[in-house]
Amino acid sequence: MRAVIVGAGITGLLVARRLQQAGFEVVVHEASDRIGGQIHTIEFEGHPVDVGAEAMHLGAPAVKKLVAELGLSDRIVPANDGGSLLLTHQGLRPLPAGVGPTGPTKIWPVVRSGIMTLPGMARAGLEPLLARLRKSPEDQSVGSFIRGRFGNEVVDLFVDPLLGNLHSGDVDKLSLHSTAPQLIGRATEGTSLLPKPTRPTRATLFRRPPKTPGPNLFSSLPTGLHEFVDAVAEGLDVRLNSPVTAVEATDGRWVVQTAQGPEQADALVLACPAGAAAKLLEPVAPNASRELAQTATASVATLVLTYDRSQPNQLLDEANGLLLPSTSGRLVKALTNLSRKWPQVADPERHIVRVSVGRAGQQRLATLTDERLVDIVAGELHDIAGLPERPTSSRVVRWQEALPQLEVGHAARLRSVRKVLEELPPIALAGGPYDGLGIGSTVKSAEARAAELITRLTPASQNDPEEKP
Ligand SMILES: Cc1cc2nc3c(=O)[nH]c(=O)nc-3n(C[C@H](O)[C@H](O)[C@H](O)COP(=O)(O)OP(=O)(O)OC[C@H]3O[C@@H](n4cnc5c(N)ncnc54)[C@H](O)[C@@H]3O)c2cc1C
């Protein structure tokens, strides 16, 4: 059996690894001159700096298992603990403990922070009651779900700068089912998002608190996340600078056109952006192609900036990051204090920070040169957090139409696209634009799509132990 994989991001490489382990002959074609896609480590001021994905979360079981399989568990570098600052109407405030991408999971830290107004807190306090009244199995936007539960303030203060920034998108458009699938059960059953208050018992009263909290689950590797991608790619046949330009289905097999000539395949995996998949599928599955072509994307950029350590500064000295709401009117969306957060980027002479800019629907980024972008961002950071007016060095990396916007109805649309593709020779759509953003979701997607192809293409006698001689 022969498989061709389109795209050497983490998804394409992992599908390739699994198919090769199952005995397939596999070739991966990558349009660009490197593997890794949105995982990309550069060398900057003598440190490995990730300019795409910056951290993998080892709380995702599939990621933890893969890291162990690759022999990387002992090389894991957990992020240093540290809070983030949030830009609010009252200026910079520490992000309260227990506030995650979909809002608060603890009440008291939010109350104590003073970030919310009294009416806002009173409205948020109704969540356990409203949960029972607002059951919904239907997909809706994350924004509308959380607004219905906690009220507008929680969305505008927390969900927008956290979940909205992660996706570089609009929380009132992003699908609850596709961007916060862990909440589907709570939405359907009408259960609260807050933990149930527990009555103290003898056991809980006298139990000693844990001595030390476990290591931070947001992790990297000593020379950056490229190590992870390189380990997945080990032993694979990957062809760089080799864009797949067309695919054709003939006699139950695929003919794949590449810069290096045509290839035959029993299975085809599209682990590339939805726009690229739509172009390839146009002649073989026009309706599926039209659906995929509608996937909105956000173009973003990562700026890596350095500042010297001569002047004290609250953000640079005390926080791991900064988050801004989409209503701030600023280009800056978020800042990560790399040299504080990551041991491999620690530097005695300078602060090294990474700034994210760009959101879905925002055109401004495309009109700015790199030089102008650095000027504007540095000016905004000076105004907001008192950073020096000019960084001592800078690098800009752009991600054109990179972040898929999984909007309301995405999962249903994708189900219908996959149904149409079942009529074709074996084919899979795998990765971020289909099964969700982030290393956790893409690893899960790659594992699931590879397993489906292996089941479909492995003779029944090998799958069914009863039929074995
Ligand atoms: C700036 C940024 C920050 C991020 N931060 C984090 C983070 O901290 N943590 C996290 O978990 N996730 C993060 N993510 C998301 C995460 O990186 C992605 O979800 C994941 O890496 C996507 O992997 P993928 O393999 O599905 O797609 P991609 O990485 O996009 O790979 C697709 C590949 O297909 C190739 N391709 C396209 N067309 C063709 C063609 N016709 N022929 C051949 N090849 C083709 C592309 O060149 C690319 O290499 C971030 C993403 C970005 C952009």
Q: Which two tokens stand for residue 419?
A: 């149904």
**What token pair was written down for 10?**
């983490």
Is residue 318 a contact partner of residue 372, using CB atoms and an 8 Å limit?
no
Asked if residue 7 has its Cβ within 6 Å of ligand 1, the reply is yes
Indicate whether residue 56 lines ligand 1 (CB < 6 A). yes
Mutation test residue for ligand 1: of 239, 272, 395, 400, the one with most atoms within 8 Å of CB: 272
CATH of the domain at 454: 3.50.50.60
DSSP conformation class of 79: P
Ligand 1 lined by 6 (C-beta under 6 Å): yes
Could you tell me the distance, in angstroms and rounded to a whole number, from the CA of residue 440 to the centre of ligand 1?
Answer: 12
Model pTM score: 0.94
Q: What is the pLDDT of residue 462?
A: 65
* pLDDT at position 468: 41
Domain identity same for 35 and 106 = no
Name the 3-class secondary structure at 248.
strand
Structure tokens at 61: 């079981």
Strand 77-78 relative to strand 244-250: parallel, antiparallel, unpaired? unpaired
Ligand 1 atom closest to Cα of residue 440: 11
CA of 55 to the centre of ligand 1 (A): 13
Please check whether residues 396 and 308 belong to one and the same domain: yes
Of ligand 1's listed atoms, the one at least distance from the Cα of 13 is 25
Give Cα 153 to chain centroid, integer Å: 25
Q: How far apart are CA 314 and CA 383, in angstroms?
A: 13
CA-closest residue to ligand 1 atom 1: 52
Q: Is the shortest distance between the CB of 35 and ligand 1 below 6 Å?
A: no
pLDDT digits (tens, 9 = 90+) for 382-427: 999 999 999 999 999 999 999 999 999 999 999 999 999 999 999 9
Residue 134 is part of a domain; what is its CATH number?
Answer: 1.10.3110.10
Instruction: Tell me how crowded residue 198 is: count the other CB atoms within 10 A of its CB.
Output: 7
- pLDDT digits over 58-100, tens only? 999 999 999 999 999 999 999 999 999 999 999 999 999 989 8
* Confidence (pLDDT) at 194: 85
Within a domain: 467: no
Instruction: Tell me which residue range forms the domain holding 195.
Output: 98-206
CATH of the domain at 327: 3.90.660.20
> Which of these three, 177, 206, 235, is where a domain ends?
206
For residue 41, the surrounding DSSP H or E stretch is strand 41-44
CA atoms within 13 A of residue 53's CA, in its CB half-sphere: 26
